[in-house]
Amino acid sequence: ADRIDALLPQTQCTKCGYDGCRPYAEAIAAARADINQCPPGGATGIARLSQLTGRPVVPLNPVNGIEQPLRVAVIDEALCIGCTLCIQACPVDAIVGAARRMHSVIPDWCNGCDLCIAPCPMDCIAMVPVRPARVWSDDDAQQSRSRYEARQRRLDVERQEREQLLLRKALARLDELGQREDLAPDRIAHKQSVVRAAIERARARRQAATKR
């Protein structure tokens, strides 16, 4: 799977039918997926995967899309309403902006995955060919992988911080309930059990994330 993943373009576009390049690589390695499901890799990518896996070269599966020249996203800033949906969709943090503020794409970071197109409610994002035209290189793939992994680490940290904040609030609520004098003991006990259950679920999620 590692060797297969190293040959994929690392756009994380999901056109292969999987959640990213790594899951697709694992599916190929386990013989659950064909080598012709990656439109960004195109014919060259299929040939490289064929050489590695020993499987025959086959045309790109049209169900997964078509091979196209390298493109990048461009936002019509006059129409952008600052909803941040494209920012959330971009797997490599190539879109900058803030809520209710204009967004912009950093062309050098955009990998052409076009995952920002569908969520845009204003239809103000277009994919345009890179000028001058060039092919997606192994260096491009490595940069895209690095940015994707950095984004995943950032999201993990943000999730952990949110869970820790909720946990602190839950513990404070539990302490507050123990001091209430205006509620019947059975109601206090019930509310405390609900809060404790929520705390245990949060701790279980955090432990599961740590094991991953």
Residues 92 and 99: beta-carbon distance below 8 Å: no
Confidence (pLDDT) at 181: 67
Q: What is the pLDDT of residues 134-158, one digit of tens each?
A: 999 999 999 999 999 999 999 999 9
CA distance 116 to 197: 38
β-pair partners for 105: 95
CA distance 119 to 125: 10
Copy the structure tokens of residue 47. 């040939």
Question: Which position has the higher pLDDT, 87 or 172?
Answer: 87
Copy the structure tokens of residue 190. 């019930």
pTM for this model (two decimals):
0.80
User: Could you give the dihedral angle defined by the CA atoms of residues 38, 43, 44 and 48, in that order, rounded to the nearest 10 degrees?
Assistant: 70
Confidence (pLDDT) at 206: 67
Going 88 to 93 to 94 to 96, the CA torsion angle's sign is: positive
Q: What is the pLDDT of residues 37-81, one digit of tens each?
A: 999 999 999 999 999 999 999 999 999 999 999 999 999 999 999
In 54-184, where does DSSP find H-type helix?
85-89, 138-178
Q: How far is CA 81 from the centre of its chain?
A: 22
